[in-house]
Structure formats: structure tokens, C-alpha cells
């Protein structure tokens, strides 16, 4: 009995390939442009800005490091190094979690909050200029729906299982 034949691999159509390549280029170029603006104007990386922003949104401006890593979509070890740099600048401090001493909290300091408040207007202006202003309200709603669908697949599909193992 002959061995079952492997199914033919799926390939992208020309339109799919063009959309994919455009999206990948956007994924590379937009964060780089936002990073450049943040570095020039506030000496923050894009990830540092997002970490400070996530902390500013939390009650007491504090969050467990593991939860912050998840929100910032980074590994805990990378976040720990980043928090160390932000601590050296006086923007964040670490303290034990009073609810469970096995965890460490990252706490946004007043200096860190002030720096974030100072950095935010130029960053938001850049997001508006490069992203929001070039899309219609309908396109923004569509992009939001598309992003949610793709993220749901990424976070619940086989790729998520490989990422978490």
C-alpha cells in the first residue's frame, strides 16, 4: 500500500503576497518612526514609553512585573533590565508586593509620571500624523476589527501554544 501523499503546500496569491509584504513593512517602519521621535524628544525607547504608560494607567501606578511584561508584550527578563534602566533615571522603583512577597511590583515615580506627561503630547502627535490622520473613521474601525481577529487567532491558535511552551 503506497504511503499517503503529503498535501500540496499552500502559497499566497499575488494580492495576498502584496498585502502581507506591505503589512510586514508597516510592522517594521512604523515602530521605528515612533521610536525615533521618542528618542529625540524624550530619550525614551518605544518600549520604555509603553511601560511607563501602562504603569500610569494602573491604580496606584503600580503593577506586578509579570503582569507588566504581559501588557508590554515582552519577556520578564527583558523587562527587568528595562526597569533597571528606568530605575537609574528615577522613573520607576521596585518594591515587594505586599499581598504576596514572592512578587515584585514596578512603581511609577512622580519623576517618571512627569516625564511621561511631558513626552506624551509629541508622541501622540506622531501617532496621529503617521497613523490616525491617514485613515478614515471607517478604515480605523475596520483596522480595529481586523487586528482583533488576527490577535485572537495568534493568542488562541497553535502559534500561541508554541510561544507559551
Output b/e per residue, 99-116; b: 16+ Cβ within 10 A.
eeeeebbbbbbeebeebb
Tens-digit pLDDT profile for residues 88-126: 999 999 999 999 989 999 999 999 999 999 999 999 999
What is the C-alpha separation between 143 and 150, in angstroms, rounded?
10
Tens digits of residue pLDDT in 126-150: 999 999 999 999 999 999 999 999 9
pLDDT of residue 157: 74
Measure the CA–CA gap between 17 and 21, rounded to whole angstroms: 6
The pLDDT value given to residue 2: 64
How confident is the model at residue 113, as a pLDDT? 98
Q: What's the mean per-residue pLDDT of the chain?
A: 93
- Answer for the pair 66, 75: CB distance below 8 angstroms, yes or no: no
pLDDT tens digits for 69-86? 999 999 999 999 999 999
Q: What is the pLDDT of residue 7?
A: 86
User: Count of CB atoms within 10 A of residue 54's CB?
Assistant: 18
- Cα separation, 76 vs 15, in Å, equals 38
d(Cα 94, Cα 91) in Å, to the nearest integer?
A: 11
What is the model's pTM?
0.85
* φ/ψ of residue 64, rounded to 5: -60, 140
Three-class SS of residue 147? helix
pLDDT at 138: 98
Amino acid at each position: 500500500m503506497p504511503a499517503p501523499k503529503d498535501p500540496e503546500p499552500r502559497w499566497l496569491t499575488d494580492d495576498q503576497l502584496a498585502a502581507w509584504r506591505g503589512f510586514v513593512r508597516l510592522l517594521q517602519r512604523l515602530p521605528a518612526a515612533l521610536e525615533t521621535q521618542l528618542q529625540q524628544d524624550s530619550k525614551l525607547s518605544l518600549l520604555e514609553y509603553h511601560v511607563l504608560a501602562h504603569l500610569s494607567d494602573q491604580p496606584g501606578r503600580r503593577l506586578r512585573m509579570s503582569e507588566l511584561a504581559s501588557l508590554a508584550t515582552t519577556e520578564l527578563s527583558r523587562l527587568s533590565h528595562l526597569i533597571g534602566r528606568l530605575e537609574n533615571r528615577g522613573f520607576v522603583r521596585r518594591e515587594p508586593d505586599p499581598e504576596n512577597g514572592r512578587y515584585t511590583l514596578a512603581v511609577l515615580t512622580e519623576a517618571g509620571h512627569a516625564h511621561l506627561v511631558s513626552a506624551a503630547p509629541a508622541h501622540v502627535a506622531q501617532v496621529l500624523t503617521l497613523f490616525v490622520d491617514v485613515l478614515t473613521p471607517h478604515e480605523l474601525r475596520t483596522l480595529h476589527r481586523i487586528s482583533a481577529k488576527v490577535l485572537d487567532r495568534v493568542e488562541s491558535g497553535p502559534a500561541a501554544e508554541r510561544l507559551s511552551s
